[in-house]
Structure 1
Amino acid sequence: MAGLLDGLRILVLEDEFLIAMDVEQICRDEGAADVVIARSIADAEAATSSLDFDAAILDLLLGSVSTLPFAATLRERGTPFVFASGYTDLKEISASFPGIKIVGKPYSGDDILSALAQARLQTQV
């Protein structure tokens, strides 16, 4: 049976190790060919400079560092992404990134997969 992410390369930008590992497993279970975990903006920038990603899952805050500038770079490249965060004041994010799904933590695998599928469809239109 085909998975939602069959053959795709996914970037996971998440500083919480256990959450990152859980998201990686969710993606692999759905057929992702490659899942790269970045725990900092520098790691994510290095990964995207050498690899093309089909989609990305971004935590909004890595410690106290915002991932919004990196998200803007992904948007410019046309890489679909979703935010996954426990952050509660989402008005600024929704205004800056209209149409980008924000999945609240804690989330289920179905939540993140549904958001990724929606992001990929929006980018392909």
Structure 2
Amino acid sequence: MEEAAHSGSRRPANLRVLVVEDEGLVALLLEDMLHDLGMLVAGIANRVDQALGLIEKGGIDAAILDVNLSGERSYPVADALRVKGVPYVFATGYGAAALEENYASDRVIPKPYSSSDIAAALADMTT
């Protein structure tokens, strides 16, 4: 994938990112951050079933998953992404310690996150 420079760091250009987030304002903020970073939003889902449908359609290079989606955990989404070989990062205000054991070694971005946190996580998981 083509690389582009941004603020002294390297990141994939035009990365198609799935956003799985149940808070509308947070999803919109993340969408804006991704656009500002030169990324494309492959889709936004606020429920597990929506996210699974988007994954099935394909066209996703990476994903950012809120762990808690209105009381439902996003682990089935992570599992589907793993099967397809799509890298992802969890976003949570509870920290990595709150993840179930099967996901304890997965990448985590603590909430609230910044644009630079998102850029670093995406660069780390796609390079």
Runs of 4+ in structure 1 displaced over 3 angstroms?
none
Does residue 63 of structure 2 align to residue 44 of structure 1? Answer: no
Task: Describe the superposition over 1:55-76 as per-residue Cα deviations: whole angstroms up to 9, x where unpaired.
Answer: 0000001011011121011112
Give the unaligned 5+ runs of structure 1.
none
Does residue 106 of structure 2 align to residue 100 of structure 1? Answer: yes
Q: Secondary structure at the match of 1:37?
A: strand
**Structure with higher strand content:** 2
Residue 113 of structure 1 aligns with which residue?
119
Does residue 81 of structure 2 align to residue 68 of structure 1? Answer: no
Letter in 2 for 1:97: Y
TM-score by length of 2: 0.83
Shift of the 76–22 alpha-carbon distance from structure 1 to 2, 3 Å rule, reads same
Q: Secondary structure at the match of 1:87?
A: coil
User: Sequence identity of aligned pairs in percent?
Assistant: 36
Contact residue 60 and residue 87 of structure 1 kept, 8 A: no
Shift of the 49–29 alpha-carbon distance from structure 1 to 2, 3 Å rule, reads same
Contact residue 16 and residue 62 of structure 2 kept, 8 A: yes
- Counterpart Cα distance in 1 of 2:54 and 2:99: 27
Give the unaligned 5+ runs of structure 2.
none
Alignment RMSD: 1.9
